[in-house]
């Protein structure tokens, strides 16, 4: 959030947290779940987004409905001669090639995951990227873990069988919750492998850091976490990455940059402590977002997905 907006909102949140904590908590939850507006197409960032979206041009586009709207999906199919490459035992002969789902992070979109498409297609996989709720071309104004899990479950159902999920940032938290079955009422999705790039390990920590940033007091923070519990069907502590990952037990690759300024490297170390089935790879100097375009990262993820 821009510092100018924080200077305006912090005093209001602080006062509201004291005199009307429930109202302040609900307002904080809505703010927490609302991604910022996309920059205009005439700005530098807007031009970068348009350039990234052009890489989705070869994909087959489909709107996949879920309970709260629809998400825009982008399907890349391998060439007929490649569908059996490295796929023996992974699919029925009459069925489609196994799918790799690419799941972007907060305030991003499917277009920024496209560096992984070509090598995964060359390995014989179908690749599906999609815009999460309130992002890219998908519907909605908010994104939270229940909405993300519901949309991922819908995409996984349409493009089954799912071999692997490759995630970035907040997408990792959503994939963990979906695989662990942490949102009541949503089916637990299935995959064989999971790659977590720059993923958070603790939603509770992120929530409390957010509260501190906007000036939410103790009572307001409690109301915010109560609202999360009400919406998600579980307290925020249930969505701790290490515990969810330990329960899932899938072969998992964790890649994180030591200079990540948005999510400190300790998040990766916590995830890696989930069990011996987790492989941790550290990078240096790539930060939180450029890591998605690094050749070494794309190669590591592809090797891991192929197995």
Other CB atoms within a 10 A radius of the CB of residue 169 amount to 25
Give the span between the Cα atoms of 186 and 189, in whole angstroms: 9
- Per-residue pLDDT band for 20 (boundaries 50, 70, 90) equals confident
Q: Give pLDDT, residue 82.
A: 57
The continuous run of DSSP H or E covering 130 comes out as strand 126-130
DSSP 146-179: HHHHHHHHHHHHHTPPEEEEEEETHHHHHHHHHH
The per-residue pLDDT for range 124-155, each reduced to its tens digit, is: 999 999 999 999 999 999 999 999 999 999 99
Give the span between the Cα atoms of 190 and 163, in whole angstroms: 8
Mean pLDDT across 34-61: 83
- Per-residue pLDDT band for 47 (boundaries 50, 70, 90) equals confident
Q: Give pLDDT, residue 19.
A: 81
Closest CA to 137 of 50, 44, 47: 50
- The more confident residue out of 80 and 141 is 141
Q: Please check the confidence at residue 88 and state whether its pLDDT lies above 60.
A: no
The per-residue pLDDT for range 186-196, each reduced to its tens digit, is: 999 999 999 99
- For tokens 């709107």, what's the residue? 63
Q: Please check the confidence at residue 44 and state whether its pLDDT lies above 90.
A: no
Between the CA of residue 112 and those of 20, 42, 74, 101, 303, what are the distances in Å?
A: 40, 19, 12, 13, 20
Give the span between the Cα atoms of 98 and 197, in whole angstroms: 21
Q: Give pLDDT, residue 14.
A: 76
- For tokens 């992984």, what's the residue? 116
Q: Round the average pLDDT of the chain to a whole number and report it.
A: 91
Domain limits, the chain: 1-33+204-238, 55-202+240-306
Q: Please check the confidence at residue 233 and state whether its pLDDT lies above 80.
A: yes
Give the span between the Cα atoms of 111 and 285, in whole angstroms: 22
| Percent of the chain residues topping a pLDDT of 70 | 91
Q: Give pLDDT, residue 1.
A: 52
Look at strands 193-197 and 278-283 and give their pairing.
unpaired
Superfamily of domain 55-202+240-306: Alpha/Beta hydrolase fold, catalytic domain (3.40.50.1820)
Q: Please check the confidence at residue 278 and state whether its pLDDT lies above 90.
A: yes
């Amino acid at each position: 959030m821009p510092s100018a907006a924080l200077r305006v909102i912090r005093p209001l949140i602080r006062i509201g947290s004291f005199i009307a904590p429930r109202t302040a908590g609900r307002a904080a939850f809505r703010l927490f779940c609302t991604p910022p507006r996309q920059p205009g197409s005439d700005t530098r960032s807007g031009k970068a987004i348009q350039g990234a979206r052009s890489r989705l041009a070869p994909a087959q586009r489909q709107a996949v409905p879920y309970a709260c709207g629809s998400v825009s999906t982008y399907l890349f199919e391998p060439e007929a001669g490649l569908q059996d490459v490295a796929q023996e035992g992974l699919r029925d002969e009459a069925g489609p090639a196994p799918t790799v789902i690419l799941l972007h992070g907060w305030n991003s979109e499917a277009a920024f995951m496209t560096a992984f498409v070509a090598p995964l297609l060359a390995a014989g996989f179908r690749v599906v990227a999609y815009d999460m709720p309130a992002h890219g071309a998908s519907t909605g104004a908010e994104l939270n873990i229940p909405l993300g899990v519901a949309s991922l479950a819908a995409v996984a159902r349409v493009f089954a069988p799912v071999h692997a999920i490759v995630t970035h940032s907040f997408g990792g938290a959503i994939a963990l919750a979906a695989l662990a079955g942490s949102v009541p009422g949503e089916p637990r999705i299935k995959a064989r492998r999971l790659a977590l790039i720059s993923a958070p390990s603790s939603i509770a920590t992120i929530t409390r850091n957010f509260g501190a940033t906007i000036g939410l007091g103790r009572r307001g923070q409690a109301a915010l976490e109560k609202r999360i519990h009400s919406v998600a069907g579980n307290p925020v502590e249930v969505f701790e990455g290490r515990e969810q990952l330990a329960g899932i037990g899938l072969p998992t690759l964790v890649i994180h940059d030591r200079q990540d300024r948005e999510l400190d490297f300790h998040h990766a170390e916590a995830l890696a402590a989930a069990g011996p089935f987790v492989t941790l790879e550290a990078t240096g100097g790539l930060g939180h977002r450029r890591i998605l375009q690094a050749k070494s990262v794309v190669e590591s993820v592809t090797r891991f997905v192929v197995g």
